[in-house]
Chain A
Amino acid sequence: MTYKKLIIFFLFVTLLASCSTKKDTSHYDDPGKPAYGDTMVTASIGEASSLIPILASDSASHEIAGYIYNGLVKLDKNLNIIGDLAESWDISKDNLTFTFRLKKGVKWHDGKPFSAHDVMYTYKVIVDPKTPTPYSSDFKQVKEAKVLDDYTFQVKYNKPFAPSLISWGTSILPRHLLEGQDITKSPLIRKPIGTGPYMFKEWISGDRVVLVANDEYFEGRPYIARHVIKIIPDSATMFLELKNNAIDSMSLTPLQFTKQTNYPAFKREFNRFQYLSFSYVYFGYNLKHQFFKDKRVRQAISHAIDKKEIIDGILFGQGVEATGPYKPDMWVYNKNVKRYDYSNEKALGLLKEAGFERGQDNILQKEGKPFEFTILVNQGNDVRIRCAELIQQRLKDIGINVKIRVVEWASFINEFIDKRNFEAVILGWTISRSDPDIYDVWHSSKQGPKELNFMSFENKEVDELLVKARHTFDKNERKRYYDRIQEILAEEQPYTFLFIPYANLAIHKRFKGIEPAPAGIGYNIYKWYVPEEQRRYKSSATISP
């Protein structure tokens, strides 16, 4: 290489180097004073599909919409229902009529006042059969909706239905921009206007969405001036961007949390948060299967599966054992249900009772039929695939021959689950934050095509309790019903409930005011702040007061 080329190369490299960011981590421990300004950059694996939330079902869309819109009610950090756009509400004695009194002086991001007519419009558009929305079923229970005056809205139901109050947490849409139009073609899908703490600024397809603080927000101006959500489809890239300080927050996998971010330099710059996620993973049986019909067989398998091993080995300890369809920090959780400790003796005892005997080659058999089955897992979910492998190993120990089949999601649902063409599956459910109603998964009437009781679980007592519980408003009474349901599920083991994973998050240390709670951390995002001297993005801040 000649000198000239070397010099050019050198210049080029220094030019690039001069543009990189410098790190200074020393002062982030100072909590400082709340100040308006700075930008928070987060990343999303997928791109939002529609910013009118009733039209979208993906989490990317709802995450962004959550900054922009408000509902009438919302959940506080302990998952209690509190007012959002509603100042207060009355529920009539028969639990059939709700009267919401709305906050006055709330403005849409375009400056127009918010009123009860917007709520009415939102209700009408959700139940409109021409609106393709997955969220209409709660609102179809409404018998009558009325605007009593600009700030009072009333709904009447045919029968008392406990989850109906929180259904009014749905994002209220601006009537003045949508009425009389086809909502599926509205420009608001890509340029939303709401009442929330952040206003939409721009959306560059496949790249990012930019939000700016709504200075007029009715609960107070948010401190963080700008919020950028980048789209980074690859999680390895996202992690590099986090380490490189190009994004400020990301949820970490168990491996990233325990191994790859557990060193001082990272912890000097990032706070790591942890809370139980709203989901559980289960090992489900096809209850029509000749062997799984027998409760003792299912109990035996629950004894033979080592949940602790799964949590320690696959989640690196980042989860807790599940005992039922709820997580331990919820009010509805029943901790006194039957548990299945890892014990091959108990498992074999139960299987013997159920009529299984060791055949040749050590495989259990009943009436000449060897105990063999296939676990179906969907492709792309490594945690579930590895769970299947551990379960396969543990069941082999007691003489059950297990095969594993990994199938792409669409065919998993259409060819196997919908056609009941499976023996056992590993799947997960999200746990509803807002209401403990689990009718759709466990009621015996929900076994039709595309319905969610695909395990074919039938239990008369559970059926009755589910119906009673969803029509009861009294929390203590409801808890009694759900406690009993959890007991029965624990006894029957239609699923072996495996674990509830932790949600792990890393957030840059300059963001203060974050308090993990049962609801997670996002509930008070408009109160997060960056002290002025720790601000990173100075030029982009809006004008200080």
Chain B
Amino acid sequence: MLRYLLKRLIFMIPMLLGITLISFAVIHLAPGEPDVVGAEMNPKVTKQMREQIRSLYGLDKPIYVQYYMWLKRFVKLDFGTSFTPDRRPVIDKIKERLPITVSINLISMMLIFFIGIPIGVYCARYKDSIMDKAFTTFVFAGYAMPYFWLALLLMMFFGVYLELLPISGLKSFNYDELSIPLKLLDILKHLILPICVSAFGGLAGISRYMKNGLLEVLRQEYITTAYAKGLPEGIVLKKHALRNALLPVITILGFSVPGLIGGSVIFETIFAIPGMGQLFYMSVMARDYPTIMGILVMGAFLTLLGNLLADIFYAIADPRIRIG
């Protein structure tokens, strides 16, 4: 097992390198260059100044040299400084946004699992009942609905019409003057809409997986056996069926690890949440190469890690898959 793990970890290195190489090339294929100082269509910027600024940022060198320079910094875990005028280290920019995105994603993922799995189980147990159909309609409505639209409607209803919830942002602007319980309440109120909206869209996947997995298991002979030896239904479902049906869910869990750091642009923009999605989008629009690369590398690393974790958990949950 340990050797297998080590092997997998070592294999990750060339894979990661390959990913950075391809990412770097693809980013530079996009037309345009970082508009570092707003020189584009600016009458005040002469050609000379433009060249000067380009060389300050190393943009005048051939692309393979730029990649080599980036790689040299990267192996020392230095993501470089951003090309935006604030010239902050990329890692700082990511650091201040990561906790927000990760916590929102974690909460909404937990919500999805806690609501989605019971829905799946219920739908499998009472297959083709009216409630099954109602739940299915509900989760697919959530999946299909454009959530920027849903978000705006909810904002109008709860924010403008009922005046119950704040519309956007994470904290009220008098946050610093609030007492600690009120601070918590303030953040909670700000989070309700975004988390509900994002969870709503994710219910369909998990509940469907759960339902189909469970149905599959319920057809197995050992379930019939369990029923036959007179076990009560609750025990059959929970102890015998559910455990086995959870296997595919573990895979999904593993695959959602990289998703934790990725935010959705539209979603964050609508709710004015300063998360990773916005950072990535703005970096791409500004051709801020160091920041784009920083986020991509983290995403790639987490994807590889998520795959590995899924494999490991699989092995733990299902002895048949274990490798010597």
Chain A: residues with CB nearer than 8 A to chain B?
A: 13, 15-17, 19-21, 39, 41, 49-50, 55-58, 61, 129-130, 132-138, 184-185, 189-190, 205-208, 210, 228, 230-234, 236-237, 240-241, 243-244, 246, 410-411, 413-415, 440-441, 448-452, 537, 539-540
Q: Which residues of A contact B208 (CB under 8 A)?
A: none
In the bound complex, how far is the Cα of B39 from the Cα of A132, in angstroms? 10
Selected contact of B44 from candidates A15, A138, A210, CB within 8 Å: A138
B2 at interface by CB-CB < 8 Å: no
Q: 9 closest A-B pairs (Cβ-Cβ)?
A: A206-B274, A57-B38, A410-B32, A440-B43, A50-B85, A20-B163, A411-B31, A49-B85, A233-B269
**A–B pairs, 21, beta carbons within 8 Å:** A13-B164, A17-B162, A21-B163, A41-B173, A129-B52, A132-B37, A134-B42, A184-B87, A189-B85, A189-B87, A190-B88, A205-B96, A207-B169, A233-B272, A237-B167, A237-B270, A240-B168, A244-B159, A246-B168, A410-B30, A539-B177
- With A237-B271, A240-B167, A415-B31 already in contact, the answer to whether A185 and B87 are too (CB < 8 A) is yes
Give the number of residues in B that approach A within 8 Å (Cβ atoms). 62
B179 at interface by CB-CB < 8 Å: no
| Known contacts A237-B167, A410-B30; 12 further A-B pairs (Cβ under 8 A) | A57-B37, A132-B37, A137-B45, A185-B87, A190-B88, A207-B272, A208-B173, A210-B173, A236-B152, A236-B270, A413-B41, A540-B177
- With A56-B85, A207-B169, A207-B171 already in contact, the answer to whether A137 and B46 are too (CB < 8 A) is yes
In the bound complex, how far is the Cα of B42 from the Cα of A244, in angstroms? 37
- With A135-B44, A413-B32, A539-B177 already in contact, the answer to whether A240 and B169 are too (CB < 8 A) is no
Name the residue among B45, B50, B278 with the largest chain A CB count within 10 angstroms: B45
Chain A's closest residue to B272 (CB) is: A232
In the bound complex, how far is the Cα of B84 from the Cα of A61, in angstroms? 12
- With A20-B164, A185-B87, A189-B87 already in contact, the answer to whether A230 and B272 are too (CB < 8 A) is yes
Q: Which residues of B contact A243 (CB under 8 A)?
A: 160
From 165 to 209 in chain B, residues with beta carbon under 8 angstroms from any chain A beta carbon are 165-171, 173-174, 177, 185, 189
Q: Which residues of B contact A537 (CB under 8 A)?
A: 174
In the bound complex, how far is the Cα of B272 from the Cα of A207, in angstroms? 8
Q: Which residues of A contact B279 (CB under 8 A)?
A: 206
User: Contact between A132 and B36 (Cβ–Cβ < 8 Å)?
Assistant: yes
B47 at interface by CB-CB < 8 Å: yes
User: Contact between A16 and B171 (Cβ–Cβ < 8 Å)?
Assistant: no
Q: Which residues of B contact A246 (CB under 8 A)?
A: 166-168
B155 at interface by CB-CB < 8 Å: yes
In the bound complex, how far is the Cα of B45 from the Cα of A448, in angstroms? 13
In the bound complex, how far is the Cα of B32 from the Cα of A205, in angstroms? 26
Chain A's closest residue to B165 (CB) is: A16
- With A207-B169, A244-B163 already in contact, the answer to whether A189 and B278 are too (CB < 8 A) is no
Q: Which residues of A contact B41 (CB under 8 A)?
A: 413, 452
Tell me, rounded to whole Å, the shortest Cβ–Cβ distance linking A18 to chain B. Answer: 10
Q: Which residues of B contact A205 (CB under 8 A)?
A: 93, 96-97, 274
In the bound complex, how far is the Cα of B271 from the Cα of A232, in angstroms? 8
B5 at interface by CB-CB < 8 Å: no
Q: Which residues of B contact A414 (CB under 8 A)?
A: 31-33
User: Contact between A49 and B278 (Cβ–Cβ < 8 Å)?
Assistant: no
In the bound complex, how far is the Cα of B89 from the Cα of A189, in angstroms? 13
Tell me, rounded to whole Å, the shortest Cβ–Cβ distance linking A231 to chain B. Answer: 7
Q: Which residues of A contact B211 (CB under 8 A)?
A: none
Q: Which residues of A contact B84 (CB under 8 A)?
A: 49-50
- With A16-B189, A413-B40 already in contact, the answer to whether A234 and B270 are too (CB < 8 A) is yes
In the bound complex, how far is the Cα of B30 from the Cα of A451, in angstroms? 22
Selected contact of A206 from candidates B97, B156, B285, B287, CB within 8 Å: B97
Selected contact of B160 from candidates A41, A55, A240, A410, CB within 8 Å: A240
In the bound complex, how far is the Cα of B56 from the Cα of A414, in angstroms? 21
Tell me, rounded to whole Å, the shortest Cβ–Cβ distance linking A162 to chain B. Answer: 15
Tell me, rounded to whole Å, the shortest Cβ–Cβ distance linking A182 to chain B. Answer: 9
Q: Which residues of A contact B43 (CB under 8 A)?
A: 440-441, 452
Selected contact of B174 from candidates A56, A137, A244, A540, CB within 8 Å: A540
In the bound complex, how far is the Cα of B36 from the Cα of A55, in angstroms? 9
B53 at interface by CB-CB < 8 Å: yes
Name the residue among A133, A134, A449 with the largest chain B CB count within 10 angstroms: A134
- With A19-B185, A134-B42, A134-B44 already in contact, the answer to whether A539 and B269 are too (CB < 8 A) is no
In the bound complex, how far is the Cα of B183 from the Cα of A333, in angstroms? 55
Chain B's closest residue to A449 (CB) is: B47
In the bound complex, how far is the Cα of B173 from the Cα of A469, in angstroms? 50
